[in-house]
Chain A
Amino acid sequence: MLQTQLLSNHHFNFGRRGRDSSVGRAGKCDVHRLEEGPPLKAELTREQGLRYYRIMQTVRRMELKADQLYKQKIIRGFCHLYDGQEACAVGIEAAINPSDHLITAYRAHGYTYTRGIAVKEILAELTGRRGGVAKGKGGSMHMYAPHFYGGNGIVGAQVPLGAGIALACQYQGNNQVCVALYGDGAANQGQLFESFNMAALWKLPCIFTCENNQYGMGTSVERASASTDYYKRGDFIPGIRVDGMDVLCVREAFKFAAEHCRSGKGPIVMELKTYRYHGHSMSDPGVSYRTREEIQEVRSKSDPITMLKERMLSNNMASVEEFKEIDIAIRKEVEEAAQYATSDPEPPLEELCNHIFSNDSPLEVRGTNPWARLKSVS
């Protein structure tokens, strides 16, 4: 067991243009329209620590494997990698229940995993095989799981969807909440403000969450947003800014947020300050709009996995060997998953037109020419 001080001396700095983007004052989250924020202390058990470590490391290795497969041209199209941001997905999942709901945008592989899909099904979806979580029909941006609504390709569109899922929770009286994630780029979308308005009016149990990784594709936050206080952008909705590199901070903040929503107080806006090591996608090297030094600095000072490991080691909660064993096991799992993803066959052509409609009788679908009469079943 470890009683730990949150946000102790961890500053999340950028040296660019002299702007010091540190996260929170020591020990506290910035809050908006809230009397109090999440607790300053958290308990971390050994079991929890090892679990969070394992999950974050799995996401990390999975994303790096995807990078490798993409460069080998085995993955094609869009591939937006999540390495660097692991503490967000893992911290959120640690705070909510599997019966709660979550929706995000296209940087979704990490959440697909934390919401319950195996690495091999994620990689096989990226390689477009029949064993992929969406049978090869969705690809990187369209993976789904129970109470996980993707994976959405259109920037911002997932946020009203998330508010709608929260409406369903309220309507059904099931005490569940919905976490609706978006990035700093999407934070300026009009439909977000439409969602904020309705969520506040109707007190929807929606945790609007901005994963602020400082860049919307190649545009830094200062160049895109008149206000970069994303946790305040909900205006009349309370907000909290959280160190998104610290899995415990994220967990405690989301426990607070979920309680806020479940108690009927309405929506809340979260801002997670985080960072992505890769560029926006695999077609973006990620160094034309930021320096390699900046990336390296975050890696060495704020890496979420390293921080957790060091915290546990310095508190004698686990040994170096134990972490090594976990790493080896994960490497094996990811390697086997990649094997599966590269050897599994592609989806059969007979299934090309299936899944147009749910619960419907079979229909005929026109192919590329009038004589191509294809069959579609639900």
Chain B
Amino acid sequence: MAASVRCFLRSGKNAVSALGRRGFHKSAPAAVQMMVRDALNQAMDEELERDERVFLLGEEVAQYDGAYKVSRGLWKKYGDKRIIDTPITEMGFAGIAVGAAMAGLRPICEFMTFNFSMQAIDQIINSAAKTYYMSAGFQAVPIVFRGPNGASAGVAAQHSQCFAAWYAHCPGLKVVSPWNAEDAKGLLKSAIRDDNPVVFLENELMYGVPFEMSEESQSKDFTIPIGKAKVERQGTHVSLVSHSRYVSHCLDAAVVLAKEGIECEVINLRTIRPLDVECIETSVMKTNHLVTVEGGWPQFGVGAEICARIMEGPAFNYLDAPATRVTGVDIPMPYAKILEDNSLPQIKDIIFSVKKTLNV
């Protein structure tokens, strides 16, 4: 773990010194707090150490320590061979990464943001995703494409797009969208160990957010299975289904709604493709109401897919109202703060939508 991480326990005490005073403790070891970026760093560090075929390439990942410092310290530890700075040529280096994966390595290809992945999207879809199928199982492509996805703060239209729906549309890809630090670590380790192309959608605004890491998650073998959602909060009145940063919004909305007697079940998708429809169905069959929350645009999006799937399955008959989607506004992202704030789902939008769905 990078020495520069500051860990705070809920009490505000420094975790490192707390752990140091182990001597006569009878209680369980204190859970560690970790920021999402450090969880990602730890995941990559552990996988680089575990398997020498794993390597990282992308812009500024090595000597700059990562544009968002996610790969901090890795170049110093592993050197030029395993941590490679690339020129600003996404199509080229994504293709190189895919070729390396075909020839026996296990690359992690970082896009500084997923907006730039559009320049490389042919390599991701046509060279990576489809190849195992086209070759009838002969040629696997064990690669991870990772980087920040979706809106940041004030970076305007060309740097704020969410690509979850775009990539999740394509067979042959797995698309993962972690929310908290444990998600980040466990899912990234699974993605790196997966023998298939995985699109790993991070969120820049979450990088600096600390979360408690369970004892289990501190192990070098801790992985979270791809394709399984997690119920973050149990509830009975409505199922709030979300991914990435908006899970936080849903949990915050749930706290407010609980005061009015509305108990929300909050589901953290963790994986977009394959979608854990069963988890959503089980929840909807319990709560009878569904609200999806995402940062991406509404048309043909993640929420749209969830609604369609619910309609096609057993949970439809349990709905007491049509499902509701809470999404980003259907416009390119504006710059001015007031405009940007009103382009994305806010907690009040979720609360409003829940109440409308429940007709209260």
Contacts and interface: CB of A to CB of B under 8 A. Distances in A.
Interface of A: 101, 103, 134-138, 142, 144, 149-150, 152-154, 157, 159-169, 171-172, 178, 190-191, 194-195, 197-198, 201-202, 354-360, 363, 365, 370, 378
B89 A138 contact: no
Given A165-B103, A167-B105, A172-B105, 20 more contacts: A134-B138, A137-B134, A138-B136, A150-B135, A150-B139, A153-B126, A157-B95, A157-B126, A160-B98, A161-B98, A163-B92, A163-B96, A165-B99, A167-B96, A194-B89, A355-B135, A356-B133, A356-B171, A357-B172, A363-B274
A191 B90 CA distance: 9
Nearest to A168: B103
Contacts of A194: 87, 89, 91-93
A211 B94 CA distance: 24
A162 B138 contact: no
A311 B326 CA distance: 75
B161 interface: no
B87 A197 contact: yes
A134 B89 contact: no
Given A101-B103, A168-B100, A161 B95 contact: yes
B349 to A, nearest CB: 31
B93 A149 contact: no
7 contacts: A142-B134, A150-B135, A161-B127, A194-B87, A355-B136, A356-B132, A358-B132
B132 A198 contact: no
Nearest to A138: B134
B122 interface: yes
Contacts of B196: 357-360
A195 B92 contact: yes
A201 B99 CA distance: 17
B229 interface: no
Nearest to B140: A358
Contacts of A101: 103
Contact of B102 (A136, A137, A164): A164
A194 to B, nearest CB: 3
Interface residues of B, number: 44
Contact of A167 (B100, B123, B131): B100
Interface in B231-281: 274
Interface of B: 55, 81, 84, 86-87, 89, 91-105, 122-123, 126-127, 131-140, 142, 171-172, 174, 195-196, 274, 312-313
B127 A157 contact: yes
Given A355-B133, A355-B136, A195 B95 contact: yes
Contacts of B126: 153-154, 157
The interface centre, meaning the residue of B105, B133, B172 with most chain A CB atoms within 10 A of its CB, is B133
Nearest to B86: A198
A151 B85 CA distance: 29
B137 A358 contact: yes
Contacts of A166: 99
A359 B100 CA distance: 19
Contacts, number: 148
A291 to B, nearest CB: 36
A64 B88 CA distance: 44
Contacts of A202: 84
A164 B127 CA distance: 12
Nearest to A154: B126
- Give the top 10 A-B pairs by smallest Cβ distance, nearest first: A164-B99, A160-B95, A194-B92, A168-B103, A161-B99, A135-B136, A358-B140, A164-B96, A194-B89, A370-B312
Contact of B105 (A150, A168, A195, A378): A168
B122 A154 contact: yes
Given A157-B127, A164-B99, A165-B103, A357 B87 contact: no
A167 B171 contact: no
B202 to A, nearest CB: 22
B104 A172 contact: yes
A144 B135 contact: yes
A320 to B, nearest CB: 42
A157 B119 CA distance: 12
The interface centre, meaning the residue of B55, B87, B95, B174 with most chain A CB atoms within 10 A of its CB, is B95
A195 B96 contact: yes
A163 B94 CA distance: 11
Contacts of B91: 160, 190-191, 194
B105 A171 contact: yes
Contact of A160 (B99, B103, B174, B312): B99
A161 B195 contact: no
A101 B103 CA distance: 9
Given A194-B89, A359-B195, A165 B100 contact: yes
Given A194-B91, A201-B87, A355-B133, A144 B103 contact: no
